[in-house]
Amino acid sequence: MSLRVVHADVRHGLLHAVRGVTLDLGDGETIALVGANGAGKSTLLGAIAGAHRLAAGQIVLDDADIAHLRAHERVSAGIALVPEGRRLFANLTVEENLLVAARCGRPGPWNIDSVLEAFPLLADRRRARAATLSGGERQATAIARALMTNPRVLLLDEVSLGLAPVAVEDVYRSLDTVIGGGTSIVLVEQDLGRALATATRVICLLEGRIVLEGSARELTREQVTDAYFGLSRAPGPPAQASP
């Protein structure tokens, strides 16, 4: 499996939100997409998932341009988005939210039993209405719901946003299981330490453009932070010898 975004442009009216972005996602790879608010991260995920129309460029899945496909057709092709804010069906139970997603998915290993095994904090809450869940339980349900479509590419927007530290730990512990199973992931994460620890590769956006890309093991936190804020470190003047 390979996913390529080629020279993608996305506009919201007069706002040029994504500008000529090109990236490749390999089979089983996890990319962390980082950047300040308004950098274009969520818009780029939405464009891949079919929520936003490209003004220019291509989205290529296994050598086929899928930019013309509607969002539900991309789900059938193997692309699933977990949007910021989770957007669960509040009056449905956890299990009902999962089953709704399964109807438009693909055949594969993810089902009620396997997602509840991967997200054990939901096992005792499967009959609870989504409106009664904690923030961590809502995020786990949103990710589990996306997995029920058996995606080849999982797009996760702001995984840790608004969650207590213990909830973040629970969610990422379950994500390790998903990553270990070979699902390809593009992850938008505000916590740089978490992003560097989880991803195989990091891409930083600034004003809709890629300004830094590299291996998560090789990039330093300082390099990512500088790119995040659009800083360039010029070498300072040579030190002067003391008289």
CATH code of the domain in which 13 resides: 3.40.50.300
**pLDDT of 51 higher than 90:** yes
- Give the global pTM: 0.91
241 located within any domain: no
In a domain, residue 29? The reply is yes
Average pLDDT of span 131-145: 95
Domain membership flag for residue 200: yes
pLDDT at 14 > cutoff 50: yes
Q: In the prediction, which pLDDT does 220 show?
A: 92
Tell me what pLDDT residue 232 has.
55
Token readout for 4 is 């390529």
Pairwise CA distance, residues 79 & 12, whole Å:
22
Domain membership flag for residue 243: no
In a domain, 234, yes or no: no
Question: Range of 76's domain?
Answer: 3-228
- For residue range 182-223, list pLDDT tens digits in order: 999 999 998 999 999 999 999 999 999 999 999 999 999 999
**Is residue 1 predicted with pLDDT exceeding 80?**
no
**pLDDT confidence bin for 236, thresholds 50/70/90:** very low
Q: What is the pLDDT of residue 241?
A: 40
Number of domains within the chain = 1
Residue 165: burial class (beta carbons within 10 Å; 0-12, 13-18, 19+):
exposed
Residues counted in the chain: 243
51 phi, psi to nearest 5 deg: -80, -25
The answer to the question of residue 236 being in a domain is: no
Mean per-residue pLDDT, 4-14: 95
Q: Are 21 and 210 in contact (CB under 8 A)?
A: yes
